Each structure stands twice: as structure tokens, then as C-alpha cells.
């Protein structure tokens, strides 16, 4: 599919002054200007955040009430239970809060709903079990903001509920004792994009401040907070960037036995945001997807390294099983798409026996490949559960609202949704959504690649490329910088990994550079030696046999004209 290349425009006089004023090389200066980071305080915060850059936790809604209630529980030595979620954000949230409170002398249990049987969030059966087990105070993490009926039920049993969450509230709030969520309409906290574990971090910070504890008593958890933050794909700006930047330093020397064991198993050469996103997070999430959510929590709470290694191996096995099932579903789905859906505005396919803990990942891959909104539905008997992903410019949740008459229920947001539909109504739902997508002229939405700057090979060097590491960690709202190189001559071309990837050697005058294109192997048949090409990609340092060289990681390629 053709993508639209759009380059940022920079005033060259301003660029020159900016470079001189802050002693920056041109590549780094251009990227910072594109991110609108041009003031000294903003540059310092972005490049070198410190623990002094955290906001006051008591600005969050209901934080004072929550802290006072927790301190009362500590004084009275109450039993409390933390109710969380089965994903990496939820698991790390429970880990941090449970460990912190236990160090304050509290008896703390946890409850994680089973993804396959209970689904996300509070449910009445779980609350009844928690009540029967003798708990009277529930603290939610990474969930609870939508649990209006469930909180009312807990109240009717004489229980108290403290909610900490980061999701969007509905029209009404649950009748909980307190609700700490910066997305509340009455929020005064200066940043509302924290992950669930970020909200938990603010809670333990606030408790520490009330108890006059040393800063290290909450800062020491930043390795785990960082894992959950990066895993949840929240924007890595403002306070999330402080968490990620400082947290990654702690991850590299973590004292958490379980995390240490998992990192050793993952085996990445360098621990950065990519290590978390592609190595750690999938393994934490895998057990929840497979219906064994407790395993990841057991890992982070491990006190014995040998036990932790065994759990890490189990997580790895779950991840391998998840990958195998994902591949099977993906292969079946793409066969259906190529046969029936390829020309449609919206891709909606269903299959018998597909694992509904995994179809969301497959929907993401389908959307990435075809650049169309997709919904995959797994049927069990007469009912189907589905997961959908969208593209920028098309609000999938709004689309479902227009076609909701055929659905039992649905939820989510613009880019990701979940649906439940009767098998007999699936066809009609599919038709309605397809017609709606066509009315929105979805076919006119073109994927855009934002280019930070056009560069020449003669104007880049190893030190400049290494300086880009100051912009890490990369993630949502802080994407890896992309650069355009024009009129490069193909000096060598070949496919790698059984045709999966593309490897090029490119030449400009007397300058040579290597380029790698992941999942672009098929293009080796489209281009020939001596072809002139334009390339968009990121820059990295490739270290081999003790030698460093610059390499382009290709995002897109086209013939020069």
C-alpha cells in the first residue's frame, strides 16, 4: 500500500540559533524542534528528568481520602484485598501496592479475575467470595471506574471500596468511598495519561509523604512501575516519561528477583523500552490470555531465584503457546480475508473455536497489514465474542454505536473495541458496519509517515546517531525519529530469514550504508542492483565484532524519480 510521506518544516535560521544556544548537533536539534521542545526547562525535563519532576500526588481526586483510609487500615491492622487486572499494567499495579503495604505491616491479599471466565473488571461473584473470605476493604487497581452496580453490591454487604484507575469514567461515578482517577471531570491533576500502575505509584508516594518516609521507600518501585507503564502503551510524555526514563535505570539493576529472572530468560543485549515492549510485556500478558493470570504475579512476588526461574520458564511456555495459537488464527483469518474481505472497507471475520484471549492481537496485525479497521469474532455455540482495532481517522467505537442494534454488548474506544454478538445476527451486523464505513469514505484515509528530516549520508556520523539515545525511551507519543534519504543506489540486495526480511547496501557518492527492512523480504523481487531509491527509516548503531557502524532500519522504500 502506498503511504503518504510528510516532512516537518523547520526554519533554518531558528535551527542554527537553537543548535548554537544549546550546543546540539543538527539531527538532535531538528527532532527536538519537531517535538516542540525548544525551551531550556522543557529540554532538561525531556533529556534528563529527575525525581524532583514528579507532580504533587495530593492534586489527584480523592487522594487525601484514600490515603487517610489506608492509614486507618494500617493503624487497625485490617485485612485488605487488592482487586486488579490480568494484563501487565494490572499485575505490576498489584505487585507495587501489595509489597508496599505489606512493608507497612498490613495483611494484603489480591484478586485477579480470570480473563476467559470472568472478563475485565469488578464482578459480583468475585465480590461475594471476597466478602465470604472476611475482607471488608477493597482497593481496585487498573479497574473499577465503570463498576457502578458492583460497588453498590459491595456497599450493600457492608464493604468499603477505594478505586484507583486510569480509564475514562462514564456519565456517573461508582458510589465508592474514594475514586482516584485523573480522568474524572473534576480532576485538577496536571497530567491525566498515567497507566494504572502510575496511579498506584502516586498513591504510595502520597502515603509515604503522609508517613514522612524517605523518598526511596516509593522510588525503589520505579522498575516495576516502568514495566507496567511501557507495557500499557500510554503516551511516554510528561510524568510517564519521568517514570520510564528513571525506571529503566532501575530495571538494569533491579532487585526484584522475578523481574531479574525474566530478563535473563528474555536475553536482550540492551534493556530499553523495546526490551519491555517486545520481551517482557508479551510474557507477562501471555498467562492472562491463556487463563492462568496468577503466574505473572507470583513471578514478581518471588523471594527465591530458583522458583522465579521456574515461573519465568512457565511464562515463556505460555508465550510460545500464545504465539502458536496466534499464528493459527492469523493464517485462518487471512485466508478468509483474501477470499472474501480484501476489497471491503472494513474487515470483519469470524471463526469457530478461535481463542478469545488472543484474537485482539491478531486483529492488530490484520489492521497493520491491510490498513483497515478489523473485527475478529470467535464463535462458541450461538454466541460470538469479538475484538476490533481501527486506523487513525476512523472512530470504531462510534461506528459500533451506529450499528449497535445487532450487538448484545460492546465497549472500548476509538482505536480498540470488544463486542458480543449472536451468531444469527453476525451477517447483518457485518453488512451494517461495512455500509457505515463506506459512508465515511474510509478508502480515502491514507497512512501517513511523519519524517523528521531529510538527510544525506555524508552529513551523519556515529556520534550524532548515538546522541539520539537521549530521546529514549521511545513509545506512544514519543515515536522513534524517522529520516528520509533520497537517490541512494542499491549496491547489494538480498532477502533474509527465509525471505522474511530485506537487507540492502546503499551508496551515495563515496558513502555506503547498510539498511534492514523487517517483514519487507518480498520487495527483494521488486528492486534490482543499481536501482536508485528513496528510503524512510530510523537510524541505529550496529555493533559487530567490536566495530560500530550506522544502519538504517527501513520504514518504507520507493523508487527515486
- The helix or strand, by DSSP H or E, that contains position 178, with its residue range, turns out to be strand 178-180
The predicted structure's pLDDT at residue 409:
83
pLDDT, tens digit, for every residue of 243-287? 999 999 999 999 999 999 999 999 887 899 999 999 999 999 999
Number of Cβ within a 10 Å radius of residue 216? 10
Enter the C-alpha cell of residue 496.
533474509
Give how many domains the chain has, as a whole number. 3
Do residues 134 and 235 share a domain? yes
CA distance 195 to 193: 7
| CB half-sphere exposure, 315, CA atoms < 13 A | 31
309: in domain: no
Q: String of b and e for 406-431 (b: at least 16 CB within 10 Å)?
A: bbeebebeebbbbbbbeeeebeebbe
Domain harbouring 479, CATH code:
2.40.50.460
Task: Give the structural domain span for 516.
Answer: 4-48+449-559
Q: What is the mean pLDDT of residues 503-529?
A: 94
Q: Which of 216, 233, 251 is the last residue of a domain?
A: 251
Residue 10: phi and psi, rounded to 5, are -125, 135
Do residues 245 and 162 share a domain? yes
DSSP 293: T
Using the predicted structure, report yes or no on whether residue 233 has a pLDDT greater than 90. Answer: no
Do residues 356 and 236 share a domain? no
Domain harbouring 353, CATH code:
3.10.310.30
Enter the C-alpha cell of residue 200.
498506584
Residue 473: phi and psi, rounded to 5, are -80, 140
Confidence at 410, pLDDT banded by 50, 70, 90: confident
Angle between helices 196-210 and 88-103 (to 10 degrees): 10
Do residues 129 and 237 share a domain? yes
pLDDT, tens digit, for every residue of 154-190? 999 999 999 999 988 888 999 999 999 999 999 999 9
The predicted structure's pLDDT at residue 15:
96
The answer to whether 210 and 71 are in contact (CB under 8 A) is: yes
The answer to whether 168 and 145 are in contact (CB under 8 A) is: yes
374: in domain: yes
pLDDT, tens digit, for every residue of 69-126? 999 999 999 999 999 999 999 999 999 999 999 999 999 999 999 888 888 889 999 9
Q: In what order do the strands lie in the sheet with 178-180?
A: 107-111, 79-83, 137-141, 160-164, 178-180
467: in domain: yes
pLDDT, tens digit, for every residue of 508-517? 999 999 999 9
- The strand ranges marked E within 393-531 are 409-412, 416-422, 448-451, 453-454, 483-496, 501-508, 511-517
Enter the C-alpha cell of residue 233.
502503551
pLDDT, tens digit, for every residue of 318-371? 999 999 999 999 999 999 999 888 789 999 999 998 998 899 999 999 999 899
Q: What is the mean pLDDT of residues 411-435?
A: 90
pLDDT, tens digit, for every residue of 284-324? 999 998 989 899 999 999 999 999 999 999 999 999 999 99
Do residues 60 and 142 share a domain? yes
Do residues 368 and 439 share a domain? yes
pLDDT, tens digit, for every residue of 27-84? 999 999 999 999 999 999 999 999 999 999 999 999 999 999 999 999 999 999 999 9
3-state DSSP of 359-391 = HHHHHHHHHHHHCCCEEEEEEECCEEEEEEECC
Do residues 416 and 516 share a domain? no
DSSP 545: T
Q: Which of 400, 416, 444 is the last residue of a domain?
A: 444
The answer to whether 291 and 117 are in contact (CB under 8 A) is: yes
Using the predicted structure, report yes or no on whether residue 18 has a pLDDT greater than 90. Answer: yes
| Its pTM surpasses 0.75 | yes
Q: Which of 408, 425, 444 is the last residue of a domain?
A: 444
Do residues 58 and 154 share a domain? yes
Do residues 17 and 98 share a domain? no
Enter the C-alpha cell of residue 45.
525535563
The predicted structure's pLDDT at residue 1:
66
Domain harbouring 237, CATH code:
3.90.1640.30
CA distance 348 to 336: 10
C-alpha dihedral sign at 202, 299, 387, 361: positive
CA distance 469 to 484: 19
Number of Cβ within a 10 Å radius of residue 31? 22
pLDDT, tens digit, for every residue of 467-490? 999 999 999 899 999 999 999 999
Do residues 226 and 86 share a domain? yes
Do residues 68 and 23 share a domain? no
The predicted structure's pLDDT at residue 117:
85
Do residues 66 and 208 share a domain? yes
Q: Taking all residues of the chain, what is their mean pLDDT, rounded to a whole number? A: 94
Amino acid at each position: 500500500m502506498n503511504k503518504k510521506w510528510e516532512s516537518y518544516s523547520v526554519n533554518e535560521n531558528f535551527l542554527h540559533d537553537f543548535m548554537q544556544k544549546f550546543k546540539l548537533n543538527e539531527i538532535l536539534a531538528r527532532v527536538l524542534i519537531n517535538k516542540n521542545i525548544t525551551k531550556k526547562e522543557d529540554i532538561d525535563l525531556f533529556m534528563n528528568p529527575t525525581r524532583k519532576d514528579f507532580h504533587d500526588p495530593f492534586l489527584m481526586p480523592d487522594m487525601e481520602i484514600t490515603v487517610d483510609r489506608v492509614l486507618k487500615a494500617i493503624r487497625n491492622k485490617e485485612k485488605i484485598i487488592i482487586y486488579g487486572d490480568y494484563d501487565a499494567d494490572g499485575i505490576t499495579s498489584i505487585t507495587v501496592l501489595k509489597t508496599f503495604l505489606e512493608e507497612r505491616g498490613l495483611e494484603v491479599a489480591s484478586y485477579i479475575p480470570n480473563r476467559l471466565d470472568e472478563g475485565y473488571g469488578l464482578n459480583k461473584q468475585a465480590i461475594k467470595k471476597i466478602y465470604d473470605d472476611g475482607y471488608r476493604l477493597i482497593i481496585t487497581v487498573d479497574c473499577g471506574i465503570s463498576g457502578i452496580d458492583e460497588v453498590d453490591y459491595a456497599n450493600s454487604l457492608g464493604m468499603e471500596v477505594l478505586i484507583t484507575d486510569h480509564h475514562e469514567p462514564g456519565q456517573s461515578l461508582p458510589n465508592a468511598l474514594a475514586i482516584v482517577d485523573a480522568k474524572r471531570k473534576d480532576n485538577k491533576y496536571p497530567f491525566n495519561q498515567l497507566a494504572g500502575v502510575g496511579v498506584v505509584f502516586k498513591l504510595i508516594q502520597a502515603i509515604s509523604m503522609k508517613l514522612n518516609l524517605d523518598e526511596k521507600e516509593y522510588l525503589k518501585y520505579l522498575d516495576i512501575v516502568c514495566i507496567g507503564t511501557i507495557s500499557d502503551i500510554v503516551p511516554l510524555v510528561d510524568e510517564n516519561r519521568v517514570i520510564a526514563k528513571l525506571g529503566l535505570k532501575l530495571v538494569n539493576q533491579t532487585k526484584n528477583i522475578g523481574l531479574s529472572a525474566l530478563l535473563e530468560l528474555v536475553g536482550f543485549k540492551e534493556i530499553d523500552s523495546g526490551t519491555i515492549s517486545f520481551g517482557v510485556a508479551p510474557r507477562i500478558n501471555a498467562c492472562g490470555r491463556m487463563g492462568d493470570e496468577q503466574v505473572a504475579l507470583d513471578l514478581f512476588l518471588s523471594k527465591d531465584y530458583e522458583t522465579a526461574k521456574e515461573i519465568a520458564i512457565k511464562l515463556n511456555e505460555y508465550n510460545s503457546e500464545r504465539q502458536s495459537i496466534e499464528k493459527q488464527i492469523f493464517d485462518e483469518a487471512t485466508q478468509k480475508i483474501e477470499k472474501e474481505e480484501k476489497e471491503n472497507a472494513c474487515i470483519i471475520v469470524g471463526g469457530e473455536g478461535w481463542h478469545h484471549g488472543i484474537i485482539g492481537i491478531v486483529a492488530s496485525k490484520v489492521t497493520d497489514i491491510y490498513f483497515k479497521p478489523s473485527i475478529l469474532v470467535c464463535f462458541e455455540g450461538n454466541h460470538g465474542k469479538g475484538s476490533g482495532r481501527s486506523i487513525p481517522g476512523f472512530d470504531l467505537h462510534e461506528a459500533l454505536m451506529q450499528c449497535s442494534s445487532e450487538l448484545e454488548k460492546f465497549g472500548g474506544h476509538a482505536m480498540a473495541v470488544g463486542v458480543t454478538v449472536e451468531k444469527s445476527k453476525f451477517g447483518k451486523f457485518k453488512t451494517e458496519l461495512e455500509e457505515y464505513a463506506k459512508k465515511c469514505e474510509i478508502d480515502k484515509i491514507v497512512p501517513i509517515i511523519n519524517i523528521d528530516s531529510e538527510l544525506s549520508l555524508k552529513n551523519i556520523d556515529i556520534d550524532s546517531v548515538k546522541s539520539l539515545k537521549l530521546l529514549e525511551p521511545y513509545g506512544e507519543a514519543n515515536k522513534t525519529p524517522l529520516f528520509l534519504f533520497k537517490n541512494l543506489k542499491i549496491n547489494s540486495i538480498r532477502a533474509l530469514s527465509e525471505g522474511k526480511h530485506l537487507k540492502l547496501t546503499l551508496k551515495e557518492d563515496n558513502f555506503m550504508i547498510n539498511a534492514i527492512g523487517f517483514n519487507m523480504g518480498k520487495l527483494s523481487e521488486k528492486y534490482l542492483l543499481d536501482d536508485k531509491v528513496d528510503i524512510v527509516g530510523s537510524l541505529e548503531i550496529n555493533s559487530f565484532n567490536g566495530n560500530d557502524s550506522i544502519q538504517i532500519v527501513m520504514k518504507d522504500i520507493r523508487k527515486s524519480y
